[in-house]
Amino acid sequence: MFAEQIEQQTSQVSTAIIKGIIKRIIFQKDDFHILSFMAEKTKEPITIVGDFFNVAPEDDLTVWGEWESHPKFGHQLKVSKWERPLPSTMEQIEKYLASGHIKGIGPVKAARIVREFGERTLDVIQTGPDVLGNIKGINREQAQHIHQSIVERMEEQHLLLNLLHLGFSASMAKRAYKHFKSKTVDIVKTNPYRLTEVNLFGFHKADQIASHLGLPTDSSERIQAAILHVTEETTKSTGHCWLTRDEILEEALKLLNKNSNVSWESAEKELTYLSTLDSQLVQMGEQIYPGRLFRAESIVANRISSLTSSVHTNRHFPLHRMIELYEKRSKIKLAKNQREAVEAIFQTNLLILTGGPGTGKTQTTRAIIDIFEQVNANAKIVLSAPTGRASRRMSEVTGREAGTIHSLLKINKSGKPTYDTNNPLPCDLLVIDESSMLDISLARRVFESISDDTKILLVGDIDQLPSVGPGNVLNDLINAGVSTVRLKEIFRQGKESQIVINAHRINQGKNIDIAVNKDDFYFIAKEDPEEIAQLILRSVRRLLQKGMTVEEIQILCPMKKGPVGTTNLNRLIQSIVNPKMYGASELMSGNEVFRSGDKVIQTKNNYGKQVFNGDVGIVQNIGSFYDEDEGREVMSLTAIFNGETVRYQENELGQLSLAYAVTVHKSQGSEYEAVIMPVTTQHYVMLARNLLYTAVTRAKKMVILVGTQKALHLAIRNNKISQRNTGLIHKIVTKG
C-alpha cells in the first residue's frame, strides 16, 4: 500500500516532492489546512498539513515537505512549499475555469471559451477582455472580470511560488500583493525592508528574509530600515517627539551588529541621508524627528498662532449680568476662578481649563456652554473627547451629545479626516474633555479641522499621566503661554469623598488618609505578590456579590508582567467571572483565550472598524461566518464597542486584549465605579506620583489598593516626571 511505501522511503529520506489532487479539506483555520491528498499513481490518500491559500477539493498541487509522525494523527507530510501547476491541456484548462475559482464561469461557459482558444486559452485571456467578446453568454462587464481574475490568479501563482519558502504565510503574501501589485516579488527579493512600509513585517522579520536571501548585512537599505525602526519604536514607547542623533545611532548599531559589523560612520551616513528626506526624518541640530511628528508639531504651532492672533474681543453684551442670571437659573454660586474661565472664553479663541477632582471642571464647563449659548442663540457648540468612554461621560454630565474626536472629524477607513484645513468643522465652540490624553498627532487633527473663528476649550487635568502617544500637548500649551485657568478649590461634595481627598494628598506628596467611618477608600497591606493577586481576586468576587458588574470594576496595574501584572490578573479574573464552558466556542490569540462575555480592549487604532486604541468592549459571540473575499467559512469574534457591533477574524485578534485588568496608561479618559490597584515594589520602575494619582482619579465610588506601605510611599514621593522630548513650546513661542 502507498502508506507502507512511504514509510519505507522515509526510513532513509525524510523529504518529499509529491504531485496530486486535494480530495477533501479535513481541517482549516485561517491559512492552516489539514488536507486529504491523493498522490499521482496511488490508491490511498495521504494527509498533508501546512499553510495554503484559496485551495479547494479537486485542485491539482505539487507539494514539498518533510514526513513526520504525529502522536495523534499518525504519518503526515508537513508542507513547507507548494504550487498549483498551471493547466496545460484543453481538458485541464476547462476543468480549471469551471472549478469556481473564476467567478462568472461555469462548466458551459468554460467549454465555450476552451473551444474558441484551445491550449492557448489562459495566455489569450491575459492579453485583454476584448478577446472574450465573441463568446456566447459573456457580456463586456463579465469579460473584464474574467480577464482580471485570470491575471490575478497567474500573479498569485508567481507570488506563492516565490514567497512561501521565505516565511510568508499565504495571507501575508496576499497583503503584500495588495500594496505592491506585480512588483511584489522583485521588491521582496531586492529590498525586503520595504515590507515595513505596510506594517506587514517589522524590521526583525524583514531582516530574517534578507538573511535567507543572502543580501549584504551592510547594505544602505538595511541600515536605513534599522534607523527608521529604532526612531519609530523609541518615540512610540517613550512618548518623545524627537531623539538625539547619538541615541538613534547607538540603538541602531546595537540592532544591526547582532549578526554583522556596521561601522558608526556607515550608520551616520545613512542617518544624514534620511534626514534630507523630510517624509522620513527631520533634523533640527542634534534633534532628529520622525517626519510625521515634526509636521504635526509645526501644524499645531501654526494653527495656535493663527487662532490667538484672530481674536475679536468686541463685546456688546453684559457678561457679568449673564453670569449672575446663569447662577440664579442653576441655583449655584460660581467661584472666582470659575467666573474667570467664563469671562476668558470670550477674550480668547483658545482656553485651557485644568484642575484636579472635585474642583468644579464639569460645572465650569456647563456654565461656559450655557452662557455662550445665551450670548449667541444660533451658536453651534460641539463636545468631544479622545475616547468613547470619556465622550459618553461628557454627554452624561452636560446633558448634551458628545462624541469621540475620531467620529467628530469623520476619519475614514484610510485614516483621512473629512474635516481639515480645506473643509473646516462647522463649529463656533469646540469643547474637548480629557485633553491630557491628546498626543501630538491627534492634536494636529483637531487644530487642522477648525477655522480661525472657532473657539476651543480644552478641559483636562495636567497632573495626570501624559498621553500614551508621543507628545505632551496640554502641558506644552500651558508652558507656551496659552490662556489657562487652573481650578484649585475643592467643593463640598469633593470634601466628603476620600477618593477626592486622597487624590489631592497624593498630588501634594502626602500619604493617604483613610477614615474608618467611610467606605470608599481601602488599603490592604500584603507583601507577597502571589498573595496580592489572590486578594485582588477575592475583592473582585466580593464586589460582584455586592451587585457591581464586570464593566463597573476595573483593575489598574502599573505593568503587564509579573504575578500582579495585567497578563496574569486577566487570566485569573477570567477564570472566575467567565470560565470555560463545555461546548462553548472560544478563540485563542497568543497566550490569551477569548470567550463570549469577556471584557476586551482595543490596542491599536482601526479606522476601518472605527474602533480605537483604548476602547473597551464586550465579546458578544464567537462562531463562523462566510467570508466572501476568502470564499469560505472562517472563525470570527463579534464584540460591542460604543454600542456598535464589530467583527474580528482570527488574524485580527492581535488587536484585542482581555480588559479585566489594564495598565493605568490605558485607563486614561475612563471612569469606573470601583478601581483595584496592586501597589508593589515588583513594579518599582513604574511607581510614580502621577501614575498613582491617575489610577485613583479613575474611580467614582471606591478605590482598593493592595500591596505594601513601602511601595505606596515610593510612588507618592517619586515626583520625577519623565521629561518628554518635544519642540512644541519652542515652535509656538517663536511663532508668537
Asked whether residue 174 is marked as a ligand-binding residue, the answer is no
Cβ neighbourhood burial of 632 (10 Å; 0-12, 13-18, 19+): middle
Dihedral angle at the C-alpha atoms of 475, 705, 676, 667, nearest 10 degrees? 10
How many Cα atoms within 13 Å fall on the side-chain side of residue 156? 21
The x, y and z cell numbers of residue 78, run together, are 508537513
List the beta strands (DSSP E) in 583-725: 586-589, 592-595, 599-602, 616-627, 632-641, 644-649, 656-658, 661-663, 672-679, 699-707
678: nearest Cα among 526, 504, 464, 506: 526
Asked whether residue 360 is marked as a ligand-binding residue, the answer is yes
Under 8 Å between Cβ of 24 and 35: yes
What is the distance between the alpha carbons of residues 127 and 252, in angstroms, rounded to a whole number?
47
Cβ neighbourhood burial of 628 (10 Å; 0-12, 13-18, 19+): exposed
Q: Distances in Å between the alpha carbon of 257 and those of 39, 190, 273, 538? A: 47, 21, 20, 49
What is the distance between the alpha carbons of residues 278 and 290, in angstroms, rounded to a whole number?
9
The x, y and z cell numbers of residue 262, run together, are 556596521
Placement of cell 493605568 in the chain? 664
The x, y and z cell numbers of residue 587, run together, are 478563540
SS3 116: helix
Kind and range of the H or E element at 290? strand 287-290
What is the distance between the alpha carbons of residues 66 and 79, in angstroms, rounded to a whole number?
7
HEC string of 165-205? HHCCCHHHHHHHHHHHHHHHHHHHHHCHHHHHHHCCCCHHH
Asked whether residue 244 is marked as a ligand-binding residue, the answer is no
Placement of cell 517627539 in the chain? 241
What is the distance between the alpha carbons of residues 689 and 558, in angstroms, rounded to a whole number?
12
Asked whether residue 358 is marked as a ligand-binding residue, the answer is yes
**Counting every residue, how long is the chain?**
736
Asked whether residue 231 is marked as a ligand-binding residue, the answer is no
Under 8 Å between Cβ of 513 and 505: yes
Provide the H-helix boundaries in 216-335: 220-238, 245-256, 264-274, 291-309, 319-330
Kind and range of the H or E element at 522? strand 521-525
Binding residues: 358-362
Binding residues for ATP: 358-362
